[in-house]
Structure 1
Amino acid sequence: MSGPSGGQSQNGMMRFLRMLIRTKKIPDEEGLKETSLARVLGAFDLTALGVGSTLGAGIYVVAGQVARQTAGPSVFVSFLVAALASVLAGLCYAEFAARVPKAGSAYVYSYVTVGELMAFIIGWNMILEYAIGTASVARAWSSYFDSLVDNKIQNFFKDNMPMDLTGLSTYPDFFSFGITLLLTALLAFGVRESAKFNNVFTAVNLLVVLYVVICGLFKVDSKNWNLDPADMPPGVDGGNGGFLPFGFSGMMSGAATCFYAFVGFDCVATTGEEAKNPQRNIPLAIIVSLIIISLAYCSLSAVLTLMCPYYLLDPNAPLPFVFDREGWGVAKYIISVGALCGLSTSLLGAMFPLPRILYAMATDSIIFKVLAQINDRFKTPLLATIITGIFSGLMAMMFNLKELVDMMSIGTLLAYTLVAVCVLILR
């Protein structure tokens, strides 16, 4: 009897393994058009979503940090290298978006190429990545706003509700929780309303970046790209001076940091079922948004390091410091408006893909089918939006910003790598 039963168990194991690597069939032309979601996003909306989700507070902080601590004036080249790497990743997403214009981004792409098990893993990886991303941006929004009011919110909660637990925040950040719930409500009301909000705030953010670059051009000094170490104040670690004060390795190390400033454009790929003509508009929006983002980062970092010696920059708030140094105090308030608008669109960009990924996974019966239900009135995955909003808000309230950012980096790298591998398999 052992022979037949052993054969049956072996057959059962083989069937199970085949289930794990079975792939999703790409629907025909008519099947790709069918969706319960509202197709209302044009090329402009998608490009604004890509720019808004990526060009957040990073543009107001990262350039100064990398210039001061890692790359010096060569931060400009660091951003160019990071931009090139991001464009290559963007081209992989663009190719898939043209071939498989469905909601779900990397989850769907892995399902049609490497199978169900990897799709399941990458789907949950993306849910955690975007949830952590939402929480980190909400926390940054709260911290930035709090700094404008002399840390009164932080001090109040630290005095009245302190938390002394390892790995958690020193106080429950109810403000960041409230911001997350507010944008959750906006996303639940419909994709058209969310797109309008994103378009306006992204436009304001880009105008502030343009203001900074144009005003900064009147104060540039080419000597700041060729500084002598002998002229530096005592006790200042400014490297060897010149354009590459920390060497080629410092510039490349800066590029690795700058790469994470480009994270977010992939949220455009999750709009496969809400975009008009997704096979054309999504790839176009990904590439155009990356070009706009690259120009913004490179031009701002160049102006910043030409206006002020890199070793004097404030790594936490470089732009207000530089304009204060030049006697343009009013720029501080304009930059603050841009930073809050940028943080708002980054928060929306991090939250937007979450319910779409849950919807895609639920549609394939990988998780609970109830999460695939679309509200008849708002044409959004309402339950999935509410659940992900509350979960992300709680993470923002309880965790420190540093822990959140460290967790997010691993998930992002895994998603980008898998999409690149899937393109090779697909070909």
Structure 2
Amino acid sequence: MASFVNALSRKKSMIDNEESKLARVLSLLDLTGLGVGSTLGLGVYVLAGAVAKTVAGPAVCISFLIAAIASAFAGLCYAEFAARVPKAGSAYVYSYVSVGEFVAYIIGWNLILEYVIGTASLARGLSNYVDALANYTMRNQLTEMYPIDVAFLAPYPDPLSFLFVIVVTVFLAIGVKESTTLNNVLTGLNLLTVITVIISGSLKADPKNWFIPKDQIPKNVENAGNGGFAPFGISGIMAGAAKCFFGFVGFDAIATTGEEARNPKKDIPLSIVISLVIIFCAYFGIAIVLTMMWPYYDQDADAPFPHVYDKVDWHVIKWIVTIGAIFALCTSLMGAMFPLPRVLYAMAKDGVLFTFLSQVNNKTKTPLIATIISGVLAGIMATVFDLQQLIDMMSIGTLLAYTIVGICVLILRYEDEKRYIAVSKLPNRPLQPKSFMSEFNSIFNLNMNKEPDSSTSAITKWTLTCYTITALIVCFSIKYANAYISFEYPFYLAVFIALVIVLVISLVIIGRQPVCNINLSFKVPWVPVIPCLSILINLYLMSELDLHTWIRFIIWLVMGFLIYFLYGITHSAERYRSITNVQTPSATVNLDNKNFVDVRNSDENVITKF
């Protein structure tokens, strides 16, 4: 049992001297284009109108702002990890380094779900957009000829979406530089389309559409709320933020390019921040002009821009924007699929997935087999699943990955940097029982320790565990028991207030611990506030997901567990390192102007000092 637990918690060394087989060709512009291209797709061309009409009204711009803040917190955490671990694999590698193999495998498996579903949903959305230009001829014909009478599948098979995925697969297989060059061109067209919408929409904007009284809303409109700027209230804005969060999913594709970026420790964090700023400005501007051009209750939830431009009799602009939207969806499709083979490559390279997925083609310098399998899998899902079903299945894996990244940032920021010093040479001292005041002083660091040690690191980890569990309870309480959080139920209100106090105290305890002053090209500011807020927001958004999403998620996890326990746990590269029990110098670390060589044995406990 001890060996089994150790196998689940074994960690990957942050320092890896193995030469990468992937080509380092991506510049800051390439990385920023990848982040913008993979994110600025369905969100800007579909989501803004749908959320405005059904959930938030004109306050959809505030919903995008809240979603942007939540995404920015996660993006900052990703940026710090990219500066720490410039390797392919994104959050999978990050969690492997700091938490352990089993948790890392779960994150990697969920990232596969995110990227497969993201690719399939964009392909299906692109197919729908093209079909709309032909008055839905394909949908009508295929529904009549090949109906799918299965409740959890699409009404008809969509071969066009499969074709789109295969074409993108071919471009990604040719070479990373060639595919990113095409991505940059399409992203440029995408941004031009967004600018065209914002400028043209501003000419037709009428601020009165933000403040339409309820008595002026037509009687035949079924769900228009109470009118005004926020017709569905604060709850509508927050529900809209949960939906708008989907529009920011994709920037983490940048973090999978650690072995293909020219200067990963600098360019990846910077490109993540630049991408999020560009994406937010686009969403915020689109949401404003769309709701000012035409009343929120009369928006088209499926294709808002063609509908609005028809209403204002700008048919030429309508076609320009529609064609631009098709190019934008092509860009997002390429950006969504780009990280998928990289995650498969990283996991297969570590042995937790089938090793043939880690093979890199000598000519293209890309993980060719992983790319082909990714394309076929995403194409099949795009063919048989409906767009809304795909979107619903996507969020949970992403949110869980963001949560784990936030946790990992805190673990490493408060880690004991003296773990490099020879623990085998340190004198053994008998453990002395501590008094209550001594424990209290240690927990809140009233001793004013300036450098982390094993004790402060342990306090941080236990407190972080308490914070995460409490945050999970608070979030689900707000979602499912909010009626009891009132003065009418004093006991439940008192329990909820106590849970919030535990969150605040946990945050204070973590903030009081000394941090590891390692030099990085980028660090998350305001630690531990920003990572803890990221964890809390992500858990709340997970609580907003419906039961069917959780059921699909559990089924996906069971499939992943079977692969891991039947294959991955015994084929792990870290397991082979422990079996061989070979000590190899991995790095020279400078602490207090003294050089140490980090040399680990099989259990990574004995470290020899030089």
AA aligned to 1:66 is V
The 5 Å alignment of 1:73-222 reads: 73-222=58-207
Cα deviation for residue 110 of structure 1 reads 0.7
2:362 aligned counterpart, secondary structure: coil
Paired position in structure 1 for 2:36: 51
AA aligned to 1:64 is G
Moved more, 292-301 or 396-405: 396-405
The 5 Å alignment of 1:151-300 reads: 151-236=136-221, 237-300=223-286
- Mapped to 2, the partners of 1:161 and 1:242 lie a distance apart of 45
Paired position in structure 2 for 1:3: none
- Mapped to 2, the partners of 1:64 and 1:162 lie a distance apart of 29
Moved more, 113-122 or 289-298: 113-122
AA aligned to 2:371 is T
Paired position in structure 1 for 2:343: 357
Q: Which runs of 4+ in 1 moved over 3 A?
A: none
Paired position in structure 1 for 2:399: 413
Cα deviation for residue 235 of structure 1 reads 2.8
Moved more, 102-111 or 252-261: 252-261
- Mapped to 2, the partners of 1:58 and 1:131 lie a distance apart of 17
- Rate the CA distance shift 1:166–1:247 in 2: closer, same or farther, 3 A: closer
Cα deviation for residue 371 of structure 1 reads 1.3
TM-score (norm 2): 0.66
AA aligned to 2:98 is T
Paired position in structure 2 for 1:312: 298
AA aligned to 2:74 is A
Paired position in structure 2 for 1:335: 321
Cα deviation for residue 14 of structure 1 reads 0.8
Cα deviation for residue 170 of structure 1 reads 2.2
Paired position in structure 2 for 1:38: 23
- Mapped to 2, the partners of 1:401 and 1:217 lie a distance apart of 31
Paired position in structure 2 for 1:372: 358
AA aligned to 2:285 is S
- Higher relative CO (Cα under 8 Å, sequence separation at least 6) belongs to 1
Identity percentage of aligned residues: 58
- Mapped to 2, the partners of 1:79 and 1:302 lie a distance apart of 10
Answer whether contact 2:158 2:382 (CA < 8 A) is retained. Answer: yes
Correspondence 1:22 to 2:10: yes
- Mapped to 1, the partners of 2:42 and 2:113 lie a distance apart of 21
Cα deviation for residue 259 of structure 1 reads 0.9
1:376 aligned counterpart, secondary structure: coil
Structure 1 spans left out of the alignment, 5+ residues: 1-12
TM-score (norm 1): 0.94
Paired position in structure 2 for 1:4: none
- Deviations along 1:108-140, whole A, 9 cap, x unmatched? 011001101111111111112211111111111
Cα deviation for residue 274 of structure 1 reads 0.5
Moved more, 310-319 or 17-26: 310-319
- Deviations along 1:272-329, whole A, 9 cap, x unmatched? 0000100000000100000000000001111111122212222222222222222111
Correspondence 1:345 to 2:331: yes
Moved more, 153-162 or 393-402: 153-162
AA aligned to 1:199 is N
2:163 aligned counterpart, secondary structure: helix
Cα deviation for residue 250 of structure 1 reads 1.1
- Mapped to 2, the partners of 1:119 and 1:263 lie a distance apart of 20
Cα deviation for residue 161 of structure 1 reads 2.4
Correspondence 1:381 to 2:342: no
AA aligned to 1:325 is K
2:218 aligned counterpart, secondary structure: coil
2:364 aligned counterpart, secondary structure: coil
Cα deviation for residue 227 of structure 1 reads 1.5
- Rate the CA distance shift 1:98–1:247 in 2: closer, same or farther, 3 A: same
Equivalent pairs, count? 412
Work out which of the two has the higher radius of gyration on C-alpha atoms and give 1 or 2.
2
Answer whether contact 2:305 2:322 (CA < 8 A) is retained. Answer: no
AA aligned to 2:10 is R
- Rate the CA distance shift 1:225–1:162 in 2: closer, same or farther, 3 A: closer
- Deviations along 1:154-195, whole A, 9 cap, x unmatched? 233223322222312222211111111111111000001110
